[in-house]
Amino acid sequence: MSALTVREGILWAATSGGVVAWDPGSRQYKKYTVLDGLATNSVGSIVLSSDNELWAGSWENGISRFDGEQWRQVESPGLDIVLAATTDGSIWASDGYEDLAGQYKDGSWRTFTTDDGLPSTEDILKAFAAPDGSLWVGTSWGAGQLGRYDGGSWRTYSTADGLPNDAVTILAISHDGTLWLSDESGISRFDGSRSTLVIPASDLQGMVIDAAIAPDGALWFATYDWGSRTGYGVQRVVDHMRTSFSVYDGLPSNRVTAIHIESDGTVWVGTDGGVAQYTGESWRAYTTDDQIAGGEIRSIDVAPDGAIWFTSLGGGVSRLDEAGWQTYTEQDGLADNLLWDGTIAADGTAWFGTWTSGMVSEFDGHVWNSYGTSDGLNTGGYVWTVAAAPDGSVWAGTDSGVAHFDGQVWQMYKPTDDGIVLDDVRSIVISRDETVWIGTYDYEQGGRVARLDDGSWRVYGQDDGLTEGEAVMVLSIASDGTVFAGAYAGLFKFSGSTWELVSESPGYVNDIAFASDGSMWIATEFDGVSRYDGSTWQENYRLGEGLPGFRMQSVAIAPDGAVWFGGSGGAARLTSSANP
Pick the CATH number of 3-207 from 2.40.10.10, 2.40.30.170, 2.130.10.10, 3.40.47.10: 2.130.10.10
The residue-averaged pLDDT of 165-192 equals 91
Gap between the terminal Cα atoms of the chain: 38
Pick the CATH number of 291-413 from 3.40.50.300, 1.10.3720.10, 2.40.110.10, 2.130.10.10: 2.130.10.10
What is the spatial distance between Cα 148 and Cα 156, in angstroms, rounded to a whole number? 7
What is the spatial distance between Cα 345 and Cα 343, in angstroms, rounded to a whole number? 7
What is the spatial distance between Cα 534 and Cα 482, in angstroms, rounded to a whole number? 12
pLDDT at 26 over 80: yes
For domain 208-286, give the CATH number: 2.40.10.500
Domain ranges of the chain: 3-207, 208-286, 291-413
- pTM, whole model, 2 decimals? 0.82
What is the percentage of the chain residues whose pLDDT exceeds 70? 97
pLDDT of residue 140: 65
**pLDDT tens digits, one per residue of 483-506:** 999 999 999 999 999 999 999 999
**pLDDT tens digits, one per residue of 187-218:** 999 999 999 999 999 999 888 889 999 999 99
Residue with the bigger pLDDT between 25 and 402: it is 402
Contact of 448 with 472, CB cutoff 8 Å: yes
Q: Collect all residues with Cβ–Cβ distance below 8 Å to 561 and sequence separation of at least 6.
A: 515, 516
Report the mean per-residue pLDDT for the chain. Answer: 90
Between 64-78, 120-134, 395-409, the lowest mean confidence (pLDDT) is in 120-134
Name the nearest CA neighbour of 15 among 40, 46, 43: 43
**pLDDT tens digits, one per residue of 320-357:** 999 889 999 988 999 988 999 999 999 999 999 998 88
Name the nearest CA neighbour of 382 among 330, 340, 413, 438: 340
pLDDT at 229 over 80: no
**pLDDT tens digits, one per residue of 269-300:** 998 888 999 988 899 988 777 667 777 899 99
Name the nearest CA neighbour of 294 among 339, 350, 251: 339
**pLDDT tens digits, one per residue of 505-528:** 999 999 999 999 889 999 999 999
The residue-averaged pLDDT of 535-543 equals 87
The residue-averaged pLDDT of 116-142 equals 82
Long-range contacts of 444-447 (CB under 8 A, 24+ apart): 445/420, 446/470, 447/471, 447/472, 447/487
Dihedral Cα 352, 373, 451, 468, nearest 10 deg? 90
Q: How far is CA 78 from the centre of its chain?
A: 20
Contact of 350 with 342, CB cutoff 8 Å: yes
Confidence of residue 579 (pLDDT cuts 50, 70, 90): very low
Domains 208-286 and 291-413 share a fold: no
